Amino acid sequence: MEPIRNKVKRCIVLGGKMYSGKSYYARALQKLAYMDSSPTTAFEIVSCASKLKELINTYYGVSYLDAQGTQKEMLRPEYQEFGTEVVRKHYKDDFWVTIALREPYKYLIFDDVRYPIEVSTIKDHSSAVTYVWIDASDEVREARCLARTGFPLPIKSQGHSSENSLTGEEAFWDFRITNNNEGFSEKSAKIILDKFLSSVQF
């Protein structure tokens, strides 16, 4: 049985390496959209990995806050192993993104797209999509990881398919943003929102 495909979602899709600032940029876009747009275009931030992380965190008895901080890099291999090697490879490769698309909101910001199948599945469900790649230097990402978790960037996790299946060089990206600690660029976010809203039929 295949999941029902429709075109009711309207999405901004963010991709990028770990600690590039995807979630930060998603929150900033959400806030700007709320300030600049009508309530009918209020965005909900969703993650392909949210249900996966919830399952693993529950199994190990780790709180949400700990999983965002000191425990994050200790749990990342578990997320990657179960999410990809177990579920995506042996069940459905669009499993996690399809669950995320079940959220009962029309306007979504995906803050963690990692695989081509996630990109195509979102497109299949959406009448309007804008794709944004968030980039940051290795030095900046290393500093962010150390500051948030106390650990350097994990070498093994960086080699996983979830970190390398998308590179930012793919043709479908509408924007490529460099996020090297200069702070959030409201100007670039406004351009992204204007591009997105221009493609939406209200």
Mean pLDDT of the chain, nearest integer: 88
184: CB partners within 8 A, 6+ apart: 24, 25, 28
Fold of 9-197: Rossmann fold (3.40.50)
> What are the residue ranges spanned by the domains of the chain?
9-197
User: Is residue 37 very low, low, confident or very high in pLDDT (cuts 50, 70, 90)?
Assistant: low
- The residue that leads in pLDDT, 97 or 41, is 97
pLDDT of residue 6: 63
Strand partners, 129: 11
Q: pTM, whole model, 2 decimals?
A: 0.90
Instruction: Report whether pLDDT(176) > 70.
Output: yes
Q: Give CA angle at 177 (171, 181), nearest 5°.
A: 155
Most confident of 40-44, 57-61, 196-200: 57-61
Nearest residue to 11 (alpha-carbon basis) of 32, 29, 38, 31: 29
Write out pLDDT tens, residues 71-101: 888 899 999 999 999 999 899 999 999 999 9
